[in-house]
């Protein structure tokens, strides 16, 4: 989940060397894994770092997500973390071979949580980049390094998303935190819920966040990558306080309004309008080149999608998440996308993400039997996107 402005300043943790310490699972080495063996979603259950035990809080789990392209993201308990780079070609990934893993540098947001959560987070973020080996032991993933042992269980049996009944787009209309009321009229803040993640506009920058259910029926929210624009006051103050409050949320109520509550915070949203053919979540399943009989549709890499609720736009271009605001003028639709830059992506996906961004910058819509076709308004070659539910 990356900002240059407090409280979302980037902190980079450099990779290093790493070894082992006792843990709850067997100390007998299991199957040694290369980078591909770590692909999946994992939850930390036990850990030891150079400075001692790592004790994750049950209410704020520590997670590790390794995607098929070997990018690394997750929640450190309070803050979201991931890998970043100046451009797709420079974005690092998990590398190496069995017994000689190399984790990339990590960046994370900089929110404040309770002392126990922050202690576990600090120790975990220091330990993870020093991992050099991975094993499967007693059905668990064990990462080891010099004085480091991190034990994870799979997160495949996830509980239903707490936001399942709140799926769609919402606009912030009231908000309070420990300092009092937030200046919600300073800028539009939106939240779009889709599965286990939420995102939207925080008033200036777009954001995304992972929602993790807990066994007690509550959940935690870890804000991940954000864009890096600076706006005038009081919009920046609204954004800073909203993002901080969102990470304190542990419960919700949904009806005519969506109310999120947590330790000293309350966020109240109203539904965004959802009329029109574009409303809802769409899978981007093809990129169109040419027009008429000469048009050709190429397949896409990854699982890119587009979600529109009112004028709030969120989605994924195959690797990076994005957000923006939809503007409609007659048959012409425009979206100025903001990409979450602190995401590791393979270099060969950049042309696809550029194509999706170019089409969404200005397009017209045609309904088809299978879904929608978006055609770039200013393209001489008739480039576009095919969408399906």
Under a CB-based contact definition with an 8 Å cutoff, are residues 143 and 166 in contact?
A: no
Under a CB-based contact definition with an 8 Å cutoff, are residues 270 and 170 in contact?
A: yes
Among all chains, which residue has been given the structure tokens 């045609």? 366
Distance CA 303, CA 306 (A): 10
Provide the residue ranges of all domains of the chain, joining segments of one domain with +: 11-154, 164-271, 280-388
Cα distances (Å, whole numbers) of residue 372 to 284, 288, 309, 316, 343: 10, 12, 16, 17, 28
Architecture (CATH level 2) of domain 11-154: Beta Barrel (2.40)
Cα distances (Å, whole numbers) of residue 76 to 41, 127, 146, 294, 386: 13, 11, 20, 50, 37
pLDDT of residue 142: 94
**Token duo for residue 149:** 């042992």
User: How many other C-beta atoms lie within 10 A of the C-beta of residue 370?
Assistant: 12
pTM of structure? 0.53
For domain 280-388, which CATH number applies: 2.40.50.100, 2.40.128.270, 3.40.640.10, 2.70.98.60?
Answer: 2.40.128.270
Distance CA 377, CA 382 (A): 8
H/E segment holding residue 357: helix 350-361
Architecture (CATH level 2) of domain 164-271: Beta Barrel (2.40)
Q: CATH topology of 164-271 equal to that of 280-388?
A: yes
Q: Cα-flanking dihedrals φ and ψ of residue 348, to 5°?
A: -75, -5
pLDDT of residue 19: 37
Distance CA 172, CA 99 (A): 49
Could you tell me which of 146, 111, 120 has the C-alpha nearest to residue 63? 120
pLDDT of residue 204: 82
Under a CB-based contact definition with an 8 Å cutoff, are residues 200 and 321 in contact?
A: no
pLDDT of residue 229: 72
pLDDT of residue 183: 95
Could you tell me which of 234, 231, 232, 229 has the C-alpha nearest to residue 186? 234
Side-chain-side CA neighbours of 146 within 13 Å: the count stands at: 7
Under a CB-based contact definition with an 8 Å cutoff, are residues 269 and 167 in contact?
A: no
**Token duo for residue 269:** 């949203």
- pLDDT tens for the chain, 389 residues: list them: 333 333 333 333 333 333 333 344 445 556 789 999 998 888 999 999 888 899 888 778 898 888 777 878 888 888 778 765 433 444 567 888 998 998 887 777 766 677 888 899 999 999 998 999 999 888 899 999 999 999 998 875 556 678 888 887 889 999 999 999 999 999 889 888 876 678 888 888 777 787 888 767 788 888 865 666 778 899 999 999 999 999 999 999 999 999 999 999 999 999 887 656 787 778 888 898 877 667 788 888 877 888 887 777 878 888 777 878 888 888 899 988 777 654 556 777 888 888 898 899 999 998 888 888 999 987 655 589 998 87
């Amino acid at each position: 989940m990356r900002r240059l402005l407090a409280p979302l300043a980037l902190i980079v943790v450099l990779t290093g060397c790493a070894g082992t310490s006792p843990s709850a699972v067997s100390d007998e080495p299991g199957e040694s894994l290369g980078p591909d063996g770590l692909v999946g979603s994992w939850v930390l259950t036990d850990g030891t770092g150079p400075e001692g035990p790592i004790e994750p809080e049950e209410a704020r789990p520590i997670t590790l997500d390794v995607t098929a392209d070997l990018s690394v993201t997750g929640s450190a308990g309070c803050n979201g973390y991931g890998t970043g780079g100046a451009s797709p070609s420079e974005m690092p990934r998990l590398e190496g071979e069995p017994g000689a893993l190399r984790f990339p540098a990590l960046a994370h947001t900089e929110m404040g949580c309770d002392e126990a959560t922050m202690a576990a987070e600090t120790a975990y973020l220091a330990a993870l980049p020093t991992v050099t080996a991975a094993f499967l032991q007693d059905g668990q993933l064990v990462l080891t390094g010099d004085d480091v042992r991190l034990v994870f269980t799979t997160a495949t049996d996830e509980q239903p998303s707490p936001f399942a009944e709140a799926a769609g787009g919402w606009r912030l209309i009231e908000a309070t935190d420990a300092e009092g009321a937030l200046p919600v009229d300073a800028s539009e803040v939106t939240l779009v819920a889709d599965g286990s993640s939420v995102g939207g506009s925080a008033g200036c920058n777009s954001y995304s966040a992972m929602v993790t259910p807990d066994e007690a029926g509550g959940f935690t929210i870890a804000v991940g990558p954000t864009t890096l624009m600076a706006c005038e006051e009081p919009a920046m103050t609204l954004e800073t306080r909203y993002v901080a409050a969102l990470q304190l949320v542990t419960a919700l109520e949904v009806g005519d309004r969506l109310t999120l509550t947590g330790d000293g915070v309350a966020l109240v949203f109203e539904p965004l309008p959802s009329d029109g053919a574009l409303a809802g979540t769409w899978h981007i399943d093809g990129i169109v080149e040419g027009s008429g009989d000469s048009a050709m549709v190429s397949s896409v890499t990854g699982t890119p999608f587009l979600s529109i609720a009112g004028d709030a736009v969120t989605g994924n271009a195959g690797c990076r998440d994005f957000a923006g605001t939809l503007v409609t003028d007659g048959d012409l639709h425009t979206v100025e996308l903001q990409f979450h830059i602190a995401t590791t992506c393979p270099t060969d996906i950049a042309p696809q993400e550029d194509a999706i961004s170019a089409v969404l910058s200005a397009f017209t819509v045609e309904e088809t039997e299978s879904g929608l076709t978006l055609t770039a308004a200013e393209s001489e070659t008739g480039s576009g996107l095919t969408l399906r539910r």
